[in-house]
Structure formats: structure tokens, C-alpha cells
Structure 1
């Protein structure tokens, strides 16, 4: 197992190098000039050139790339072009809301979706199954930002139960934290509930047709024991896989959700950095997201051995 993990981590290094090179190239090739944003509309060409020299943007692209790679190897993510703040410090400051939103979203999605999927498989073809599948299609079809605005209209502006925007950290109290994170969590989890419930249903239905399920029933095991003790456990591998994919997909959903609810997280930082053409911040965040994606896939692969003893690395 340790050898497998080390090999996967070694294989991730070329992926990170390619991601770094592609991101760096795309940012430099797209239209826009950070110096013009910093200087404003009334800046003279001399002022723009002075800013470019100060930021190192006047150097050839390959020199900028190798300088950035050297910084990364030394543990320096760079400095924001706009604020002059180290990027690592900005990431640490904004990490809390994003982690809270991702954790709450995936917890809600798992707690709601897996029981729904199992019940739909148990009542295949019945009214409950059709209702769950209809909700899944609805969850896939409605964009996250539309769900977010509907929730704001109904539960914030209408009922007044939750704040429209903003974030309260857990250090300010459990109830303020829950009130600020509930609507973003509900909006973002709708897609993942639909995804996980659909895969759970399909996987459990496939397992329910296996011989060992009929044997368990013939031995007198009740339906609850068959579903939870045999069917769900043997269907766990595809379910865990889709949960891992869902966690990786949260990166895109967090950007939209944090923008709608004005949460000061990494997703909102991405939007701000893109609009301001803040190269170091964008590059560091994309590399961070790519690293998280690679680590999640590694954790999912390792977890297969827990649910299926036949899998060995």
C-alpha cells in the first residue's frame, strides 16, 4: 500500500508541472494588462512601462516562468500584484469559509442522497423510486446560482430565517455560523444529492440481482439487513467513486456559490483575481485546486480496500 501511494504521488508531479505550464501560458496569452489595471485609465505610457518593470512583466515569458517555478520550489507562492500581500497569506485567510462550505455540502449530500438512493432501489418502479428520480433530474437541470436565488427569495427575503449574504466563522458562535452557511450549503448540495442518489440507486439495483442477495433472503434475513448489510456495502465502490468526483467538482461550485452569497472564501478570491488580472494569485489557486483534486483521487483509490477486501494494491 505504501509503495502504491508513493507511486501515485510521484506520478502526480508531472501532472502538476503540466498544469503549471498551461496555466502560466494561458494567463500570459489572454488579453489584458495588470499594469493598466493598477495605473488606471489616466496613466501615461511611461507610467505603465515603469509598473511593468517593477512587476517583472517586461521580461520574456520564459524568464517569468522559470522565476515563478523557482519561487514555488522554495515554498513561495508569490506576491499579489494588487495588494502586495503574499499569496500564501491570502490563501490561509480565505481558506476557512471554503472548507466549511465544502464539508457541510458533502456531509448533507451524503446523509440525504445515500438513503434516498437505497430506498429508490428497494422500491424500484414504484412511486417512491419515480419521485427520487424526478428530484434527481430536477437537481441536475437547475443551475446552482438559480437554486441559490430561489432559496434567498423564499427563506431570506420571504421567511427571514437566514441572512441573504455574509459569513460568520465558528469562533463567533455555532448558531450564527449555521445561519450563514445553511443557504449556501443547500444551494450547492442540490446537484450532488441528485448525482449521488442516482448512482447509489443504480449500484444497489445491480447488486440486488446477485446470487448472494437471494441467499441472504433465503436464510431469513430481513429486508433492512439485506439492504444495509449486503447490498449497500457491496455497492460501495462506485458510490465512493462518485463521492470523490463530487468533492473534486465542488471547486467549480464553490466559485459560483461564494459569489452569490458573498462568502470571503477561495472561490470568491478566484473571481477577484481573474477580474484584476492578478497573475500570482490565479496561478497559485489553480495549482492548489489541482493538488486537492489529485489527493482526493488518491484517497478514493485507497478507500476501495476498505469496502472491497478483494482489491489489493
Structure 2
């Protein structure tokens, strides 16, 4: 429990510092947000009225706490470009991004884990070398380039799948799946290649450990020894890489959303930057930071479950400090 509390405390402190940095950077941008929203021809009265509506005429410390309290209530502020509440739009866009990234990461793990284990077990054979070479090629191809190639082949040349657009699953689930295939495959191809390489390296390292050779000497087959003793130990470095790739997947999704014209959070962020909609930009960036820190928190907590020695080491250090 103390380990959990320490991770939670670090999570909250980091989130607080990130919110201050994001808010400060947005306020450091030259220009009055109300003046930017209304244009250079706006009257001083109109600018003052919009500043009051947005709350930008208040002291900075009050603006900060109003923004944070609004985020905690699910109220993300008013868009400078549309003058509308951005909360419903952010929620809708976030669902698109989560579906896209969540599906891509799930498929990547389902592909990478068995391929990585197989490539490690047959590292010196033709099929193992083929998997390793294929993962190298996948790493070298950017996700947006994979998306363009997939569109050129399956949408333009063959006409099997739509090239872009989004249909909510509640409206037409079949069309939703058809339009999701190409962007998900674009992201999955790169992520699966990266994870396959790390899984292979982790399994190879485990296979050279003494405890695995001891298990083999007791009569276990290689498959049994890996299943009982190896996979759990190999999961630690793979879990770390998975967390890093999940956060980088959000960045890759920004480009993929542009390629396939998906109404996700990444495309909304780019539109907000182009329109100088500072309220929307700081809210979206804060949500992305929250997602990244939450993923890191889950990974940190998972370490103690996969490897009890981490908790034991922490307890030993705590006693030594006393």
C-alpha cells in the first residue's frame, strides 16, 4: 500500500507541475485571446465583453484555478473560434482516438507476443530470421507512409475499403469496421514490428538465464519452462516498452487521423493550433498529459505484481532509512 501511495503521490505532483507549465506556456503566447478570436477590426467593447465571458480579464492565478476546477467537473471551457462549449466535442473526439489507439495496441500485442516468442525460440532458423527481418522492415516504415500505401492499394486500386471518413459504431457497425481497418492496420504494422523485436530480445535474454536451464534440467520442455518461468520475467521490459509505445501511438495517431480524415483528438488539436484557439489547445494537451501519466502509473503498479522483488526492495530501503 505504501508503494501504491508513493506512485499516486508522484503521479499527482507531476500532473500538477504539468498543468502549471501548460497554462504558463499558453499565457506566454503574445496577444489577447479575445482580440485574436474577434480579429483586428473588433471594437474594444466587443473585446472586453468576450474577455469577461472567457474569464481572461481575471488574474492569472484565478484563471488557472477556474480552468483546473472546470477540468475536474468535466467543463473544458469555451472555444475561441466557435464560441461554443468544447466539452462535448472533446468527448466525441477522444472516443475516436481511444478506439483507434486501443484497437491498434491490442492487435499489436496479439501479433507481437507470439511472433517474438517464436522468433526467439528459432533464432538461428529460417523462419525466425524471416520474422526478425520483417520486424526490421516494419520499424523502418513510418505509420503515415504505411497508411498512404494501404490507401493506394486497397482503396484506390482494388476498391475494397473506403479511403477515409468515420462512421460511429452506433450508427452502422459494419461500415464503422470497414472504415477502421486501414487506419488501424497502418498503426498496428509499425507497433507490432517494434514490439516483436523487444519481445524477441526479452525472451532470448531469459533463455540464457540459469533458472531456465535449471528448469530444463529437471525435465521441462523449452515451452513449459518459458510458460512457467520465462514469460513473467520477460514481461517486465516488454511492459516498459509497451507503455512507451502506447504514448507514442497517440502522436502517430495525429498523423493517421489527418491521412484518413478521422475526427479524433489529434486532428482537433491541429485545428485548434491553426486557429490559435488557446483554450482548446491547453485542454487537449492537458488531457494527453493525463493519459500519458496514467499509463505510466499503471505500468509502475504492474511492476510490483509481476516482480515481487520490487516491493521487497522498496521495503528494505524504507527500513534502512529508518
The range that moved more, 265-274 or 63-72, is 63-72
User: Map of 1:85-100 to 2, 5 A cutoff?
Assistant: 85-100=84-99
Closer/same/farther in 2, CA of residues 10 and 212 from structure 1, 3 Å limit: closer
Shift of residue 208, structure 1, vs aligned partner: 0.3
> For this pair of structures, how many residues does the alignment match?
311
Contact 1:121 1:129 in 2 (8 A): yes
Equivalent in the alignment of 1:77: 76
Contact 2:35 2:42 in 1 (8 A): no
TM-score, normalised to structure 1, is 0.87
Matched, 1:205 2:204: yes
3-state SS of 1:277 partner: coil
Shift of residue 61, structure 1, vs aligned partner: 5.3
The range that moved more, 167-176 or 61-70, is 61-70
Equivalent in the alignment of 2:12: 13
User: Map of 1:175-254 to 2, 5 A cutoff?
Assistant: 175-254=174-253
Contact 2:7 2:300 in 1 (8 A): no
Equivalent in the alignment of 2:296: 297
3-state SS of 2:87 partner: helix
3-state SS of 1:239 partner: helix
* Runs of 4+ off more than 6 Å: none
Contact 2:96 2:263 in 1 (8 A): yes
Equivalent in the alignment of 1:122: 121
Equivalent in the alignment of 1:255: 254
Closer/same/farther in 2, CA of residues 193 and 157 from structure 1, 3 Å limit: same
Shift of residue 195, structure 1, vs aligned partner: 1.9
Could you list the runs of 5+ residues in structure 1 that have no partner in the other structure? Answer: none
Could you list the runs of 5+ residues in structure 2 that have no partner in the other structure? Answer: 313-322
Contact 1:32 1:277 in 2 (8 A): no
TM-score, normalised to structure 2, is 0.85
Contact 2:74 2:87 in 1 (8 A): no
Shift of residue 47, structure 1, vs aligned partner: 7.6
Distance 2:276 2:23 in 1: 12
Shift of residue 284, structure 1, vs aligned partner: 1.3
Closer/same/farther in 2, CA of residues 32 and 186 from structure 1, 3 Å limit: farther
3-state SS of 2:220 partner: coil
User: Map of 1:164-183 to 2, 5 A cutoff?
Assistant: 164-183=163-182
Contact 1:101 1:185 in 2 (8 A): yes
Equivalent in the alignment of 2:306: 307
Contact 1:255 1:268 in 2 (8 A): yes
